[in-house]
Structure 1
Amino acid sequence: MRNSAQTPLAATRLNAWMRNRSWAIAMTVAIVITVGGLVILETARERIAAEYESALEARDVTVQLSRLESQLAQLSAYQSSFLLTKQTANVQAYCSTAGRVRQTAQQLSVYYHRREAGSAELASFTQIASLIDARIGAGAAALQQAEPQPLALSGCGTATGAAPVDAGLVDNTLSLLRDNEASRAQHALDASRADQRVSTLVAAGLSALNIVLFILLFRNLGIQIDRQARVQRQLITQQEELDQLVTERTRQLEALGWHLQAVSENEKTQLARELHDELGAILTASKMDVAWANRKLKDSEPAISEKLTRALANLDQGIALKRRIIEDMRPTVLTNFGLVTALRTLADESAQRNNWVLDLNLPKDDIQLDEQTEIALFRVAQESFTNAAKYARASRVSIGLQIADGQVALSIADNGVGITPADLKRTHTHGLLGMRQRVAAHGGHFDIRRGVPNGTDIHVVMPCVSTTASALDAPSASM
């Protein structure tokens, strides 16, 4: 069972491997075939060149054999003419012709010795060469016998008194050798033509193979391009879907963050109101009762009066703590006197606690903004002063508020150690994230950067619903 299950899996893997490697296999086979075809073409070219050269050589030997036969005929003609006319010019012509005959015979001898030493053709030509020499010598002897005076036969070689050579045997042998060379030349030409046809067929096959390969290559490239285009379109579609999803999730998270901030502010407001109304009333009533008891027992019970005095001090601390907690949750100065006064008060208190030199660039008159914008700007300033106190180790802090073109800008800077780029990229710095989220939820822009040369600069720009200025001279004078 296991082997039977593994067999289809192995076949599937083999088919997948073949599909993935099919182009490489086809290219390898095509390269091998092309190289083999080129080898065949080169071999055929060399054979054609050798066969053509052999055909030319055989034709040249045929011409030389014909020339030798013609020269022998001229030699006989000059001999006969001298015997008839007794003119010495024929003797000179005979000797010069004999020299040409020997030269031609020498060239042919070199050819036959170089081509096929020991063959039948070489033996036949060797025999013919000796007969030709004997023929020239016998002719020279016949010329000298026909003339009583000595003749100038030095150019004819040694005259011999041998019997005349059979001219028919020489001519027949030369004709046979000439026919053999003509046949060899024709055979070489036929082989050359055959090799040319093979070369043509191989070249045509290679051309057809290359054409098919180019067609397959372009087809495969087209398929790859189409596949890449489809993949790219899919990636673009997926990227667009992811972008839409991220945008939607971002909007949801912004809405959720705004909702959580609104809920937190509402809960802080409700808790501050309950602390002010309930706990404040309880602490105030308790302080009044303890003060009354302290006055009654001050003279009669000094020890109890001392305890009550200490209890009054604890109640004062509790009332102060309650007031501070309420101010942190829902600053009453922001509700009662507006944003400018609240920022001035917050800056003065922070400077007193941290021994800062304070630079204020706030409007003299208060500005009327919507409640959520005022709360957002106040919280940003509150968080910025807290961070400056904890981390900056600053000695000078500046705060500015400007309003123009339907926008309100808050700027806070210190001369501390300055925020680092790594701190800007951290995801667990909830203070910075909270400020960014709070500002972004109201459609504003939050920017924090390292100051020059040191320190930290915070710049917030938010749209404002109303820019109506209200003269609040009384609160400013009270501050």
Structure 2
Amino acid sequence: MSHVPLPHLVIADDDDTPPPAASSAQAPTSLARRAARLNEWMRRYSWAVAMTVAIVITVGGLVVLESGRMRIASEYETALDAKGATAQLSMLAADIATLTADERGFALGADSAYRTHFGETAERVRRTLASLDAYYRRIGDDTALASFAQIRAAADDEIAQGAARLADLAQHPDADSAAREHALSLPPPDTSATLDAALSLLRLNEEQRAQQALDASRADQRISTLCVGALCALNIVLFLLLFRNLGIQLDKQARVQKALITQQEELDQLVFARTRQLEALAWHLQSVSENEKTELARELHDELGSILTASKMDVAWVRGKLRDSEPAMAEKLARALAQLDQGIALKRRIIEDMRPTVLANFGLVTALRSLADEAAQRNGWNVEFALPDEDVKLGEAIEIALFRVAQETLTNAAKYAHASRIRVALALDDETVSLSIADDGIGIRPQDLKRTQTHGLVGMRQRVSARGGRFDIERASPHGTAISVSMPRERSVDAPRAVPLA
């Protein structure tokens, strides 16, 4: 029976399983986040990078230019030295030829001037040789230095031999002319030809050295020019990029600022609308409160007043019937009559507080005078008035607003001022009506002026602002508190139009 080989089954370990799709997607996501962070960093700090690169390139270019300038200066110095050495070599050849000419001239004429000129020329040759020797040692050209050493030795020999011949001719001045002509006819020594050839070779080498230095300096100048051009072009590109980025940032800031201005205008409009809504609401609440006070005062006057009056009449009738027969009960009834009188007085005071009849019947000036007199009697104040002589009609809304402000001000003065003197003033013109009340008390504290929990002040402000007026409160000088209200006398409407709540 044949055996069929089974395929090998490979069971993968958990660690060898490929990562899920979500895990494989983490690497691109991480790269995307890194790229986003890099782009954000470049967007924020690209100007700093551009400025840093521009500074580095500028400094590097300045270093390159300075090194090029130093190389050009060195090459020019080398060319000048080579030209100077060439001139000195030419002068040395001329001086050596002059030595030979002086020697022959002295041999012909035995003139001491030739001998003196020979000595001067020889001294100049020695100085030139010393200068050239220092030059070749300084430049470190060993080949030229070896050739120059041979030239210097030959020149020294030439000077020495010429000086010896001049000295010999000077010692035998009587030598016949045949001997002198024989000395002149002698061919020049071989050293003179060798010396001239060596000098010509050195001059050629120095000319080549000067030309090479000039060529190298011109090349360095071209390289420096190219570097300057490339540096300028690169800086122009960087600054263009910088200004472009700056323009983008400024444009973005302008858009953001414009958006902020738009948002601020929308917010201002919203605040204005909400303020108008609050003013309308405050005016509505105040109108409702005044209407409720009026209705309540009317009910108290009509209902409670009639009840109290009828009760008083009944009690008085019963007391009159029982005065003689029941004196004790009559006394109780008399006490009940007194209590009924107090109740009627309290009712009247409550009605006056809620809806002052003196304001409705006699006007604002009389109502203010009556209100201040009653407060002065209760608190022991001295009152000073600055009121018009006659009452004027300002409209019910304005009169009740000014009366309520005066009422609240006098109530606050009685509670907190500890004053002894009150001044009430009312002034009118064609456009506005102004009310001011001042006391000589301890004065309102500065922190109380900024408090928002003082509902009395807030209520007065809202009541005045709802009528388009202005309310001010400040510490009086030297002490005390002063409140001033200014309101327009006439308005096109009695109350601000209600703004629908959003």
TM-score relative to the length of structure 2: 0.82
Aligned residue among 127, 145, 151 for 2:150: 127
Change (3 A) 1:102 1:335: closer
**Aligned: 1:327 with 2:352:** yes
Change (3 A) 1:300 1:150: farther
Unaligned runs of 5+ in 2: 1-22, 175-187, 492-502
Aligned residue among 428, 446, 454 for 1:421: 446
Deviations 1:237-281 (A, max 9, x none): 333322222222222222221111111100110111112222223
Structure 1 residue 311, shift from structure 2 partner: 4.2
CA distance in 2: counterparts of 1:87 and 1:34, whole angstroms: 72
The aligned counterpart of 2:160 is 137
Single out whichever of 245-254 and 76-85 deviates more from structure 2.
76-85
Single out whichever of 350-359 and 437-446 deviates more from structure 2.
437-446
**Aligned: 1:23 with 2:23:** no
TM-score relative to the length of structure 1: 0.86
Aligned residue among 371, 378, 387 for 1:362: 387
**Aligned: 1:41 with 2:77:** no
Structure 1 residue 385, shift from structure 2 partner: 0.9
- Percent sequence identity is 63
What is the count of residue pairs matched by the alignment?
Answer: 454
Change (3 A) 1:12 1:378: same
CA distance in 2: counterparts of 1:77 and 1:407, whole angstroms: 129
SS in 2 for 1:366: coil
Q: How does 1:150-161 map to 2 (within 5 A)?
A: none
The aligned counterpart of 2:496 is none
| Letter of the 2:53 counterpart | V
The aligned counterpart of 1:59 is 83
Q: How does 1:255-334 map to 2 (within 5 A)?
A: 255-294=280-319, 308-334=333-359
Deviations 1:358-402 (A, max 9, x none): 223334433333222221121111111111111111111122333
The aligned counterpart of 2:272 is 247
Change (3 A) 1:180 1:317: same
Change (3 A) 1:141 1:369: closer
Structure 1 residue 306, shift from structure 2 partner: 5.7
SS in 2 for 1:417: coil
**Aligned: 1:232 with 2:284:** no
Structure 1 residue 173, shift from structure 2 partner: 1.9
SS in 2 for 1:457: strand
Aligned residue among 96, 110, 122 for 1:98: 122
Unaligned runs of 5+ in 1: 152-162, 467-479
**Aligned: 1:430 with 2:487:** no
SS in 2 for 1:384: helix
| Letter of the 1:362 counterpart | L
The answer to whether the 8 Å contact 1:138/1:164 transfers is no
CA distance in 2: counterparts of 1:144 and 1:398, whole angstroms: 141
The aligned counterpart of 1:114 is 138
The aligned counterpart of 2:480 is 455
Structure 1 residue 309, shift from structure 2 partner: 4.8
CA distance in 2: counterparts of 1:357 and 1:201, whole angstroms: 99
Single out whichever of 283-292 and 250-259 deviates more from structure 2.
283-292
Change (3 A) 1:283 1:61: same
The answer to whether the 8 Å contact 2:78/2:213 transfers is yes
Give the CA RMSD over aligned residues. Answer: 2.8
SS in 2 for 1:453: coil
CA distance in 1: counterparts of 2:97 and 2:398, whole angstroms: 134
CA distance in 2: counterparts of 1:140 and 1:401, whole angstroms: 137
| Letter of the 2:137 counterpart | H
The answer to whether the 8 Å contact 1:144/1:150 transfers is no
CA distance in 2: counterparts of 1:310 and 1:4, whole angstroms: 100
Aligned residue among 371, 392, 410 for 1:346: 371
The aligned counterpart of 2:498 is none
Change (3 A) 1:148 1:275: closer
Single out whichever of 383-392 and 173-182 deviates more from structure 2.
173-182
The aligned counterpart of 2:244 is 219
CA distance in 1: counterparts of 2:366 and 2:50, whole angstroms: 84
| Letter of the 1:29 counterpart | V
The aligned counterpart of 2:172 is 149
The answer to whether the 8 Å contact 1:369/1:464 transfers is yes
Single out whichever of 319-328 and 362-371 deviates more from structure 2.
362-371
Aligned residue among 409, 414, 433 for 1:389: 414
The aligned counterpart of 2:400 is 375
Single out whichever of 383-392 and 320-329 deviates more from structure 2.
320-329
Change (3 A) 1:67 1:440: same
The answer to whether the 8 Å contact 1:361/1:400 transfers is yes
| Letter of the 1:404 counterpart | D
